[in-house]
Structures are given as structure tokens and as C-alpha cells.
Amino acid sequence: MAGGFGNIMLQARRMQGQIKSLQDQLEQTEFEGAAGGGLVKVTVDGRQKVKKLTITREAINPDDLDELSDIVTAALNMALTASLEHSQAEMKKITGGINLPGLG
């Protein structure tokens, strides 16, 4: 029985190392969302942190700031969704599809 537990602990440590490596990789991976025909672009990393927000002059209409807000929101959601989906797919490869709370 002790050998089985030791094997589980070894696998857990190996998985922990793989997860740390993935987290480091995700910080370097960028995802972009664009909306309004490219009037607004958002770049996020694989950890869902915003790295860059670009708004063209053509996107700014002082008489309709709600439209700009909608475009920014759409671009941000596109970038975050791409990042999150990629992160989840990579984590699933490591965990074999097992949902481990607090990881990722």
C-alpha cells in the first residue's frame, strides 16, 4: 500500500511541475480580440491579463460613447475567451480531464 501512495505522490509532483511550466508559458502567449472592423484591438496573455488596448481615432465618436464602450467590451471578451479556452485545453492535457480545484 505504501508503494502505491508513493507513486501517487510522485505523479502529483510531476503534474505540479507541468502545471507551473504551463503557467509560465501562458504568461508569454498572447491572444487578440478585435471588434468594430478593427477599430478596437485588445491583447491579453494566457493568464487573462490585459497587455494592450488599441483604439483608433475612427472609433471615437463623442456623440456616441456607448458604441465605443460596446466595441471595447466585444474585443475584450473575444481576447479573454480565446485565452481561457486555450488555457483550459492545455490544462486538460496535463490533468487528463480531471477538474482539480485551484489549479489553472
Instruction: Supply 100's cell numbers.
Output: 482539480
| CATH assignment at residue 79 | 3.30.1310.10
Which pLDDT does position 9 carry in this prediction? 83
Per-residue pLDDT of the chain in tens (104 residues, 90 and over written 9): 456 777 888 888 888 888 889 888 999 999 999 999 999 999 999 999 999 999 999 999 999 999 999 999 999 999 999 999 999 999 888 888 776 555 54
Give the total number of structural domains in the chain: 1
In a domain, residue 103? The reply is no
In a domain, residue 33? The reply is yes
**Of 46, 48, 50, 40, which Cα lies nearest the Cα of 23?**
46
Which pLDDT does position 34 carry in this prediction? 98
The whole domain housing 14 covers 2-95
Spacing of C-alpha 102 from chain mean position: 16
